[in-house]
Structure 1
Amino acid sequence: MSLSANGRDIDVFNGDADGICAVHQWRLAYPADTELVTGAKRDISLLQNLSASYGDSVNVFDISFDQNIHSIRQLLDSGVKMTYFDHHSANTRFEHPGLTMYWDDDPKVCSSVLVNNALGRQYSEWAIVGAFGDNLSNTARKLATSLGLSEYQVGQLCELGKLLNYNAYGESLADLHFHPALLYAEMSQYKDPFQMITEASAFRTLQRGYHSDQLYLNSLNPTETGKDAILYVLPDQSWARRISGEFANQLATDNPSKSCAVIVPKTNSAFVVSIRSAMPDLHPANTFCGRFLTGGGRRSAGGVNILPASELDHFVRLFFQYFSE
C-alpha cells in the first residue's frame, strides 16, 4: 500500500495509455489526494526534478528505472518510500528497504498488467485498455476472454486504449490534445471504462483528432524497405508527431514479420524515433535503441528521444543491419 501517514503522496506516471491506466487502477484501489507528475510520452526523466523528502510516498508507473537511477537513489537515501511499477529495461535496479518494485520486461507484459496483478485483478478492464494502448493485443484479448467480454466490448476498450496512447505523443505538451494530468483527472471520475466511452467529452475529442490526423497517413510511402524491416520518415508537422506512436503500432500489426521505425523531425535539427521489433527475443528494441545516447525502451518497443540530424544516415544503416541479422 502506498498511502503516506505524515508526508505527501506523489504519483509519477508516463502520460501514455499504459501509464495513465496503471495509476488509475492504483488510485481506484487506494483513493488519495495526491500530487501528480506526468508529461508527454517522451518525458521519461520525470524523477529528476521531483521535490520529495523524508516521509513522502512516491509511486511510479511506467517510467524507465535506468533513465532515473540517480534520482531514485537520492530520493530513497533521503527517506522517501517508493513503489515502482514498470516493464522497461532496468539493468541498474537494486534492492533498498524503501523501495517496493514490481518489474517484468516480458514482451507480453505492460505496467497496467503489473498493477492489475498486484491488485488481484480488481480492475482488469482498465488493464485491458492499457495493454491495447501499449500494442499488446494478445495480452489484452486474453484478459478480455477471462472476463467474458463480447467482441464489441473488446473493440470499445481497444479504441479507448489507442486514443489514450495517441494523446501522449508530441514533441511538447503543445502538440497534445490534453495535458496527461488533465486527461487523467477526467478519467479518474470513471470506475468503468465503458461509462467513460459513453460520457466523457475527452473521448469524443480524441476520437475526432485521431481520425483527422490518420487521414494524412493515406499519402505516405515507406522511406526505405528491406526484407526484415521497414522505415518511415514523417514530415515536420504536429499531426505527424501526434500520430507517430500509433502509426508505429499500426505498422507492426500490419507487417508482423518486419521490424518498424518511424522517424519524425524535431524543431531543433534533430529527430525522434519509434521502434517496434518483430522478434523481440532475438532483436530486442531496447538493446538497439540503447546504442544511442537518448535511446531506451523495452524488448518489443523502444525509441530514441533525440537523434541528431548528422546521425540519421548512420542510424538507418544500423537499423536495417541490426534487424536483419
Structure 2
Amino acid sequence: MNYDIFNGDADGIIALLQLRLANPVESELVTGVKRDIQLLEKVTVRSGDSLTVLDISMEKNRHALQAALEVGATVYYADHHRYGVIPQHQNLQAHIDLDANTCTALIIDQLLEGQFHLWAITAAFGDNLIAKADKLAEQAGLSKDQAEQLNELGTLINYNGYGSKTQDLHFHPADLYLALLKYANPFDVIADVDSPFYPLKSAYRQDMDKALAVESCHRSANLSVFELPDSAWARRISGVYGNDLANQDPDSAHGVLTDNNDGSYTVSLRAPLNNKQGAGDICSQFDTGGGRAAAAGINALAKADLNRLIKTVEEFYT
C-alpha cells in the first residue's frame, strides 16, 4: 500500500503535487488542517507499505515513524521543521533542511531538478518566503505581474489550510490537492475560471477584511498581538493574516490569537522577517507548541499563559 502523507497547507500540497506530476502513484491520501501534523499516527502500517511524508515535523512523528520502519515499511521523508533525531534505518530516505529560507516544496524542487519549478515558486510564496520567491521568479524570467499571480495563488492555497477542523475549510486539503493535480503549470489554474482559485480568492477577501478591522491588544517595538474571535472565518485567516502583518512590519514579531472558547487561544507567531529566527523555539516552550524558525504556533495556549508568552517573545527579540 502506498500512502501520501502531507501537511494541508500550500507547502505540503505543492510538495506532493510536484512529486506526483513527476511520478504518478496510486496512493491513499492522509492530510488535514495545517496544524494537524501528527499524521503518521493515523496510518496502520504493514510490512511492504511505502510512505511518502511531506512537510510535517519528524520530531512530532518520531514514534510512529520508528514503528513504521520496524514493521518493514519504506519511508521517503522531506521537511523543513524541527526533526529531533533522524532514525538511522536502511528503509528511511530523509531530506531535511532547516534553513529559514527554504520550504518542503523547494526541497522537492531540487530533488526533481526543477521539473515543476513554477509550482515550487508558488509554494515559496504561499509559505511567506517572499524575498526568496521573488528572487526565484526573477531568475526564472517571470514578469512582476506573473510573480504577483503566483504569490496570490500560493497565498490562497495556504489560506485554505487553516482551521481547527476540516469543516472550517473551503476545500478539504486532499480534495484541493486532487483538483490542482490537473494542472502541470500554476498559471493554468489562474486561467481556468472553474478552478479553486476563484472561490478561494473571494472567500479570502471577505475573511481578511474582517481581520483588518481588529485593533491590536498589545503593541511594542518588538511585538504586536491581535486577538480574533471564536469563529470559522478567524480560524481560516489567522495564519495568512500573520504573514500579512509580518510583511507590513518586517522589523517586528507578530502574534495572532484565535479564541478557542475553552479558556485557550490558538496562536500563530511570526518572527520578524528581518530576523527570521526563534519562533519555533519560543512556541516549543509551551504545551502543544512548535514550528520553524520564522513561523510557529501553539494549538492551545491557556489564556493565563498569554502574558508569559508575550514576555518570552519580547525578551527574545530585544
User: What TM-score do the two structures reach when normalised by structure 1?
Assistant: 0.94
SS for the counterpart of 2:66 is helix
Tell me, in whole angstroms, the C-alpha distance in 1 between the residues paired with 2:180 and 2:87: 33
Q: Deviations over 1:144-195 (max 9, x none)?
A: 1222111111111100000000000011111110100011110011111111
Tell me, in whole angstroms, the C-alpha distance in 2 between the residues paired with 1:127 and 1:282: 21
**Residue in structure 2 matching 1:217, options 208, 211, 214:** 211
Runs of 4+ in 1 over 6 A off after TM superposition: 279-282
Within-5 A mapping of 1:163-312: 163-199=156-192, 200-278=194-272, 283-312=277-306
Per the alignment, do residues 171 and 227 of structure 1 end up closer, same or farther by CA in structure 2, a change over 3 Å counting?
same
For structure 1, which runs of at least 5 residues remain unmatched after alignment? 1-7
Indicate conservation of the 8 Å contact 1:124/1:143, yes or no.
no
Counterpart of 1:122 in structure 2 is 115
Alignment of 1:102 onto 2:95: yes
Equivalent residues, number:
317
Counterpart of 2:69 in structure 1 is 76
Q: How much is the aligned-residue C-alpha RMSD, in angstroms?
A: 1.4
Q: What amino acid maps onto 1:152 in structure 2?
A: D
Indicate conservation of the 8 Å contact 2:251/2:274, yes or no.
no
Tell me, in whole angstroms, the C-alpha distance in 1 between the residues paired with 2:54 and 2:276: 27
| Percentage of identical aligned residues | 39
Alignment of 1:49 onto 2:42: yes
Counterpart of 1:62 in structure 2 is 55
Counterpart of 1:323 in structure 2 is 317
Tell me, in whole angstroms, the C-alpha distance in 2 between the residues paired with 1:11 and 1:174: 21
SS for the counterpart of 1:64 is coil
Tell me, in whole angstroms, the C-alpha distance in 2 between the residues paired with 1:165 and 1:295: 20
Indicate conservation of the 8 Å contact 2:2/2:49, yes or no.
yes
SS for the counterpart of 1:70 is helix
Cα drift, residue 32 of structure 1: 1.1
Indicate conservation of the 8 Å contact 1:280/1:300, yes or no.
no
Q: Deviations over 1:204-231 (max 9, x none)?
A: 1100100111111232111111111111
Alignment of 1:12 onto 2:1: no
Q: What amino acid maps onto 2:234 in structure 1?
A: A
SS for the counterpart of 2:95 is strand
Tell me, in whole angstroms, the C-alpha distance in 1 between the residues paired with 2:275 and 2:72: 38
Tell me, in whole angstroms, the C-alpha distance in 1 between the residues paired with 2:27 and 2:312: 44
Cα drift, residue 279 of structure 1: 6.4
Counterpart of 1:3 in structure 2 is none
For structure 2, which runs of at least 5 residues remain unmatched after alignment? none
Cα drift, residue 281 of structure 1: 6.3
Indicate conservation of the 8 Å contact 1:241/1:264, yes or no.
yes
Per the alignment, do residues 279 and 288 of structure 1 end up closer, same or farther by CA in structure 2, a change over 3 Å counting?
farther
